[in-house]
Amino acid sequence: MCTVPLLSAVCRECYNDPAEVYETLKRRGMDLVTVTDHDSIDAAEPLRKHRDFFLSEELTCVTGSGTQFHMGVYGIAEPQHEQLLRRRGDIEALLAYLDEQRLLFSVNHVFSSLTGPRTGQDFALFGERFPAYETRNGQMLEAANRSAAALAAALGKVALGGSDAHTLAGLGRTYTEVPGAGDAAEFLAGLRSGMSRVHGESGNLAKLTLAVLAIGGEMMRERTWTLLLAPLMAAAPLVTLGNYLREIAFEKKWAAALAVCGRTAGVREALDEIAQIVS
């Protein structure tokens, strides 16, 4: 379910049929397919029959400073999913389990305010403990993606990209390539070795607004009584504009604090420093 107050009781974040997701991605040229739903693998069940599908998810996690962030975990098994869910509120236990299981994981949309505020300690944690960064997200601002890529390069992190699509329209428009990989095992091994290349588009105001309107339309199609909420859809562009402006301010603040704009030397020093002085 979506996390918007009031709508959280009636509206989902996504209404895509898993089989249609898979077919759309294959039509758009994907050799391999994975799905990273929030804290769930239920929608992936119908896709496990495909040899070119591998299981992943996006965990909503809590840092030691109490802030939230999204973590991508790739190439998991169902028992690992259960263990990840149990530990997502305890970052140290979660990181220990990920290392023990030798799972590849990333911090996602690090320069976005989507999950709330961030602290300097959070960025220090991401720099010290995370092997991979999402450096191109199909729903995030170009500036946020650019800053994530600069930070990842400065810290020697694996770069990942994905569409973050909540509607069929955005699927496969942003993706990760490992040259020469023939299957999921080779793809994941290539990622761990730093052989990834990210491709595709970033997000923008129009893209986000259209996605919100499409999700609202699907909600009303599934629950016809929610047609009573149709007048609220007129406010969607204002809501997405507010989010857009907030995202711009968030990226500018943290990109400047981490010195990722225009230079990469000294980023590690900046991380150490802001972990002590910024909250």
According to the model, what pLDDT value does residue 257 have?
84
User: With contact defined as beta carbons under 8 Å apart, do 157 and 108 qualify?
Assistant: no
Q: Are strands 174-177 and 158-162 parallel, antiparallel or unpaired?
A: unpaired
Q: Which residues contact 66 (CB under 8 A, 6 or more apart)?
A: none
According to the model, what pLDDT value does residue 266 have?
57
Q: How far apart are CA 199 and CA 197, in angstroms?
A: 7
Q: How far apart are CA 77 and CA 64, in angstroms?
A: 27
Residue 268 scores a pLDDT above 50 = yes
Q: How would DSSP label each residue in 86-113? A: HHTT-HHHHHHHHHHHT-EEEE-STT--
Q: How far is CA 92 from CA 21, 136, 219, in A?
A: 34, 26, 38
What are the structural domains, with CATH classification, of the chain?
7-207+239-277 (3.20.20.140)
Q: What is the chain's mean pLDDT, rounded? A: 91
User: With contact defined as beta carbons under 8 Å apart, do 97 and 83 qualify?
Assistant: yes
Q: How far apart are CA 6 and CA 232, in angstroms?
A: 12
Banded model confidence at residue 7, pLDDT cuts 50, 70, 90: confident
Q: How far apart are CA 74 and CA 114, in angstroms?
A: 21
* Digit-coded pLDDT (tens) for 153-163: 989 999 999 99
Q: How far apart are CA 227 and CA 60, in angstroms?
A: 31
Residue 223 phi, psi dihedral angles, 5° rounding: -120, 95
Query: Residue 133 gets which letter from DSSP?
Result: E
Q: How far apart are CA 133 and CA 162, in angstroms?
A: 11
Count of H helices and E strands in the chain? 9, 8
User: With contact defined as beta carbons under 8 Å apart, do 161 and 199 qualify?
Assistant: yes
Banded model confidence at residue 229, pLDDT cuts 50, 70, 90: confident
pTM as predicted: 0.90
Task: Write down the residue that tokens 């699907």 correspond to.
Answer: 218
Mean pLDDT of 68-97: 97
According to the model, what pLDDT value does residue 10 have?
86
According to the model, what pLDDT value does residue 272 have?
61
Residue 98 scores a pLDDT above 50 = yes
Residue 254 scores a pLDDT above 50 = yes
The token pair at 4 is 């918007």
Exposure b/e, 71-93, CB count within 10 A at least 16 = b: bbbbbbeeebbebbbebbeebee
Q: Give the three-class secondary structure for 108.
A: coil
